[in-house]
A = this chain, B = another copy of it.
Amino acid sequence: MTKQISGRNQLTGKITAVQLGDVVAEVTVAVGENLVDAIITRKSAIALDLKVGDIVTALIKSTEVMIMKDMP
């Protein structure tokens, strides 16, 4: 059995930074040439034992993505 998720954007990479705040935490993931930043709860960051070097997947719902384009 494999758990499938409807969220279409799943970007795998390596954690480059974890900053724990009082309620939320910021996790930075290197995905290819990009850095992807996530704000999650401090509790989740601790529950998943997130640390620099971990291989993780950033999960983003399609409805959350905007598109920018340079127009002449």
Contacts and interface: CB of A to CB of B under 8 A. Distances in A.
Contacts of A7: 44, 59, 66
Given A68-B4, A71-B1, A39 B24 contact: yes
Nearest to A21: B23
Interface residues of A, number: 58
Contacts of A4: 47-48, 68-71
Count chain B CB atoms within 10 A of each CB in A2, A8, A48, A64 and give the residue with the most: A8
A13 to B, nearest CB: 10
Given A3-B3, A59-B5, A67 B41 contact: no
A36 B70 CA distance: 18
